[in-house]
Amino acid sequence: MPSNFDEAFAAVQSLAKDFDAQKDFYLSPKYQEAEVRKEFIDKFLIALGWDVNHDRQKNPYEQEVKIERKEHGVSTRRADYAFYLAPNFRDVKFYIEAKKPFGDIATPDNYFQTIRYGSGSERLPPILSAC
């Protein structure tokens, strides 16, 4: 009888195979962040047991995963995913920021974005704002 771990592992392996089969497309500039979120990241998180689509957690005030909603395709300057652990749905435990697979992830903008999300503030820490 397969365990939850075995099922999760098989789902993640399947995602990796799907990506590898069309790697040229997924690594091209045509493939956008919204697509990678829907086709890979959401499915990866679901395989790990997170209720990304709120199938179980219907109460909007008691959900372990909050997904950033873009207004007219524009970010609200928040991480793509924020994770909470019951019963504390006020304090974020960790964030995930999605990026499309194309391009260099090691950019100054991405570094500052990481710091901003990690600090829980839209402002940079004083020591970094002087840089």
Would you list the domain boundaries of the chain?
4-129
How far apart CA 18 and CA 114 sit, in angstroms, is: 28
Instruction: For residue 87, say if its preceding peptide bond is cis, omega within 30 degrees of 0.
Output: yes
- At 61-95, the pLDDT tens digits run 999 999 987 655 555 578 899 999 999 999 999 98
Residues 6+ apart with CB under 8 A from 46: 11, 52, 53
DSSP 57: -
Q: pLDDT class for 113, splitting at 50, 70, 90?
A: confident
How far apart CA 16 and CA 57 sit, in angstroms, is: 28
Q: In this predicted structure, what is the pLDDT of residue 23?
A: 97
- At 88-101, the pLDDT tens digits run 999 999 989 899 99
Q: What are phi and psi of 108, to 5 degrees?
A: -55, -40
25 and 31 Cβ atoms separated by less than 8 Å: yes
